[in-house]
Amino acid sequence: MKKFLFGVLVLAVVMVVAQAERTDRLDGRDAQLRGDNGPVQEMERRLEGMRAVLAAEGHTFEIGENEAMNFPIDQLCGLNPNLAGPEDAAFETPVEGIYTVEALPTSFTGKCGSVRNQGSCGSCWAFGIIGAIEGQWAYQTGTYYNFSEEHLLDCNTYGYSCNGGWFTAFNDVTYPKYFRYESCYPYVGVKGTCSTTPCNADYCSSWYYVGSSSSIPATSSIQQKIYDHGSVAAAVYVDSYFQAYKTGCFTRNATGNVNHAIILCGWDNNKCGTGIGAWKLKNSWGTSWGESGFMWIKYACQKVGYAACYANY
């Protein structure tokens, strides 16, 4: 009888331990599925609190869950003005042909291209540079090519990585240095060894800031460069509201230093209301963010347009 009871006790202990291990595995899987922001309920509570703030401040754009919210902002946003090269000042005075138009349209969509996903690597600076090049190529040739961000991540000569970079890396894709096609140098989202595989696409003849490397140019100046070059790369300040953006005209203007590179590829001078304009912004966080990867953001909000720059072909 004692042996029987002992056996039952051992079996019960084994079952409890097995159930605990199963629970741990499930909890671990749930945590993985939820990402770094915690349980679904906690995320929803956080979003509801943010929605209450937006309503109190009178904003009408919507926020919600997206893939980018699985990562901390400082992991996604790797644009760092402190990493600017000493030669940047030389690119603040464009030396190029003069583009003239009688009047810019009230709304315009340039060469936006497809939305990419940088994943958990803070390589937004590379996506900004390559996006501007792709816009310029499409403007000049009528065809939108897919060029390699990974090549710039791996091969830039400034030591830029997933931990940060700046627009200075434009110098690594201007003559005589080449950029590559995405098809033969695909993005993996980890800085690796620079490959010498011969799949050169072409090179930029030059690049310039629209204004300076440390300010926001006039709205009309950025519009002119989008009109003349297809799109421009620029900086913006990202906070939790920007990260959670879903749809509508983003009008919140929080205070902070620029930390993220994006593409500006269009505008509408009445998007946020009569006489209240906004940029069409392309992000690099995949299509689950924003309006299938795009955002409408009111002029100057979140310092959007800071250090705007463009490529010449």
**What's the pLDDT score for residue 76?**
96
User: What domains appear along the chain, each with residue ranges and CATH number?
Assistant: 62-312 (3.90.70.10)
Task: Number of helices (H) and strands (E) in the chain: give both, helices first.
Answer: 7, 12
**What's the pLDDT score for residue 33?**
38
User: What sign does the dihedral 160-147-187-293 (CA atoms) show?
Assistant: positive
Residue 20 neighbours by CB under 8 Å, 6+ apart = none
Query: Residue 47 phi/psi, 5° resolution?
Result: -65, -40
Instruction: Reply yes or no on whether 272 is catalytic.
Output: no
* Amino acid identity, position 18: A
DSSP 215-251: SPPPHHHHHHHHHHHS-EEEEE---HHHHTEEESEE-
Whether 216 and 223 have beta carbons less than 8 Å apart is answered as no
Q: Which two tokens stand for residue 292?
A: 């299938």
**What's the pLDDT score for residue 100?**
57
Instruction: Reply yes or no on whether 260 is catalytic.
Output: yes
**What's the pLDDT score for residue 85?**
85
* Amino acid identity, position 222: I
Angle at 163 between CA 157 and CA 167, to 5 degrees: 50
Query: Residue 254: which H helix or E strand, with range?
Result: none
* Residue from 77, 121, 124, 301 carrying the catalytic annotation: 124
Angle at 31 between CA 28 and CA 35, to 5 degrees: 140
Whether 215 and 177 have beta carbons less than 8 Å apart is answered as no
CA distances from 103 to 135, 142, 157, 230, 264 (A): 22, 23, 40, 17, 19
Question: Mean pLDDT for each 10-residue chunk of the chain (313 residues)?
Answer: 39 35 33 49 92 98 96 96 91 67 88 95 98 93 92 96 97 89 95 88 88 96 95 98 98 97 98 97 98 98 98 88
CA neighbor of 254 nearest in space, from 236, 270, 269, 234: 236
Helix axes 219-229 and 124-141, enclosed angle (nearest 10): 60
Say how many C-beta atoms besides its own lie within 10 A of residue 65's C-beta.
18
**What's the pLDDT score for residue 60?**
97
DSSP 8-state code for residue 92: S
**What's the pLDDT score for residue 6?**
40
CA neighbor of 131 nearest in space, from 152, 154, 108: 152
Whether 184 and 199 have beta carbons less than 8 Å apart is answered as yes
Place of tokens 């605990």: 20
Residue 296 neighbours by CB under 8 Å, 6+ apart = 248, 249, 250, 268, 271, 272, 278, 279, 280, 281
* Residue from 260, 265, 301, 309 carrying the catalytic annotation: 260
CA distances from 21 to 11, 27, 39, 48, 153 (A): 15, 10, 20, 34, 41
How many residues in the chain?
A: 313
For the whole model, what pTM was predicted?
0.85
Q: How far apart, in Å, do the first and last CA atoms of the chain sit?
A: 90
Beta-ladder partners of 208: 310
